[in-house]
Structure 1
Amino acid sequence: MTLGVALDASDADNQIDATVRLAQEARAAGLRSAWFGQTFGADSPQLAAIVGREVPGLHVGTSAIPVFGRHPLLVSSQAQTAQAATHGRYHLGLALGTRLLTETGFGIPFERPIARLREFLTALRQLTETGTADFHGELLTATTPLPARVPGAEAGVPLLVAAMGPQALRASGELADGILPYLAGPRALEEHIVPAVTAAARAAGRPAPRIVALVYGVVTNDADAVREKAAEQLAFYEQFPSYARVVELSGGRRAADVAVIGDERAVAAEVRRYREAGATEVVFSGTGIAGAAARRRTWALLGELAG
């Protein structure tokens, strides 16, 4: 199992420079991967490409690009460029997104998300593996009157999905290389998520999927105070049924209940629980919530566990 971190320097004077510095620090601590969220700010694949070039040996990934408001041709171009720039160390994450952000931000209806995900993955797989596509679905069309291959990205791009619900897990098992569940504790992984996506992959004749568990957590001696702060930050996710459901399946009532917060022994024990629940990779986010010293302490532990 590999260990990584999600990096967010969106409050810096220059987000790109600051992210590169954080990535260099993470790699020096022994971490294996760095992941970047996609909002309406910095472009995640571009950020990953820059970091991957600046920090050799570090795998980089997007977690995750919503399929609404994008097109497979454009996302393939971004992903292949990042893959070539990093010489095979880029991992593309996709997401359904949410009705709130889709309809408010893009002004398009959030309709038939699973069908759109299936069509998006099917067309994108053609593009990233062959550089061509001839896909005509109900919701998407992707054809290539011009070549869509980026030289240097011949190995293809790993496709992951931020899937947690039954239908999204089924589609991901059949069409993707793995999943990126967030705020899903070990119980939800072991009893619901991993069995569902693994069964779907097996039925489709695909290899066992990667399970990249995104965990909100930090090492600290003041767990109560940090958890209270985490509850404020994570409350945003509680309005979305998919997150509320997976928190409940994890045995929690609020999103902060599944956060991994405590001293080194407590956090290491939780990492082991994720591994035993089926996670092939664990990526920590929110490590800066208690300040730079706590972040460095967290990364030092994760680097030690990764080694």
Structure 2
Amino acid sequence: MEPVFGVAYERPITRLREFLTALRSLLVTGEADVRGETLTASPPMPTAVPGADPPPPVFVAAMGPRALRVTGELAHGTLPFLAGPRTLGEHIVPEITTVAERAGRPAPRVVAFVSGVVTDDVDAARAAAARQSAFYDTVPSYRRVIELEGAAKAADLVEIGDEKVIAAAVRRYFDAGATEVVFGATELAGEAARLRTWNLLGELA
């Protein structure tokens, strides 16, 4: 937030609530009049598209308890990344679902983003995963979900193996309450491995 966008990273949950409140109003009516503690959204005229029918769904990359509560109240679902099946089933899905029910809203969608690939060269893919995921080990929100899963580092949550291994991993995410599973395998292995991954996911779908 601060180095990239120049926005102070202060009171993030309040900002999230106010942002979603304004966004929902804009998407439904084309107008907004939100004068909050962290932002103001009061355009002088309706947007070019005065509300969509139906409004597009809004998702938040929420994984912490407070962010999940706001998301359950005001958004359509969450997009967790590096939150493994245990974290989904024990923390994320129960929290966001309970809040949505209390708010009288439909069951939220939980779109699990999973990094992984179908390959026979597991060692090479593991080495690539370690290089590519090291950044997430330094981010507090990701460190939290990595630890909740019982993993030591982000690379431990990358799913790598043959078709049977990856199919079982996908099932674990659905069993934990994910409504959708999105697999990213762009740079873990070569083109042939990516095609195997996509073919498997197509068959599972």
The bucket for the TM-score relative to the shorter chain is: over 0.9
Q: Secondary structure at the match of 1:221?
A: coil
Give the whole-Å Cα distance in 1 for the aligned partners of 2:153 and 2:123: 15
Q: Secondary structure at the match of 1:148?
A: coil
TM-superposed CA distance for 1:151, in Å, is 6.7
Instruction: Select which of 85, 91, 108 maps to 1:209.
Output: 108
TM-superposed CA distance for 1:159, in Å, is 0.4
Give the whole-Å Cα distance in 1 for the aligned partners of 2:116 and 2:91: 22
TM-superposed CA distance for 1:132, in Å, is 1.2
Give the whole-Å Cα distance in 1 for the aligned partners of 2:50 and 2:40: 24
1:253-299 Cα distance to aligned partner (Å, 9 max, x none): 11011111110000000100000000000001133320111111100
Give the whole-Å Cα distance in 2 for the aligned partners of 1:134 and 1:244: 37
Q: 1:113 to 1:169 in 2, by over 3 A?
A: same
1:214-271 Cα distance to aligned partner (Å, 9 max, x none): 0001100111221121011000011011101101111211101111111000000010
Give the whole-Å Cα distance in 1 for the aligned partners of 2:80 and 2:178: 10
Q: Indicate the residue corresponding to 1:304 in structure 2.
A: 203
Matched-pair identity in %: 64
How many residue pairs get aligned? The number is: 205
Q: Is the 8 A contact 1:127 1:149 kept in 2?
A: no
RMSD across aligned C-alpha pairs, in angstroms? Answer: 1.3
Q: Is the 8 A contact 1:260 1:270 kept in 2?
A: yes
Q: Secondary structure at the match of 1:253?
A: coil
**Could you tell me which amino acid in structure 2 is paired with residue 273 of structure 1?**
R
Q: Indicate the residue corresponding to 1:158 in structure 2.
A: 57
TM-superposed CA distance for 1:149, in Å, is 4.5
Give the whole-Å Cα distance in 2 for the aligned partners of 1:117 and 1:152: 21
1:31-88 Cα distance to aligned partner (Å, 9 max, x none): xxxxxxxxxxxxxxxxxxxxxxxxxxxxxxxxxxxxxxxxxxxxxxxxxxxxxxxxxx
**Could you tell me which amino acid in structure 1 is paired with residue 9 of structure 2?**
F
**Could you tell me which amino acid in structure 1 is paired with residue 98 of structure 2?**
A
TM-superposed CA distance for 1:152, in Å, is 8.8
Instruction: Select which of 145, 155, 167 maps to 1:268.
Output: 167
Q: Indicate the residue corresponding to 1:108 in structure 2.
A: 7
Map residues 69-108 of structure 1 onto 2, 5 A cutoff. Answer: 102-108=1-7
**Unmatched segments (≥5 aa) in structure 2:** none
Q: Indicate the residue corresponding to 2:82 in structure 1.
A: 183
**Unmatched segments (≥5 aa) in structure 1:** 1-101
**Could you tell me which amino acid in structure 2 is paired with residue 236 of structure 1?**
F
1:171-230 Cα distance to aligned partner (Å, 9 max, x none): 101111000000111000001110011111111111100000000011001112211210
Runs of 4+ off more than 6 Å: none
Map residues 134-153 of structure 1 onto 2, 5 A cutoff. Answer: 134-150=33-49, 153=52
Say whether residues 1:239 and 2:143 are aligned partners: no
Say whether residues 1:286 and 2:195 are aligned partners: no
Q: Is the 8 A contact 2:31 2:50 kept in 1?
A: no
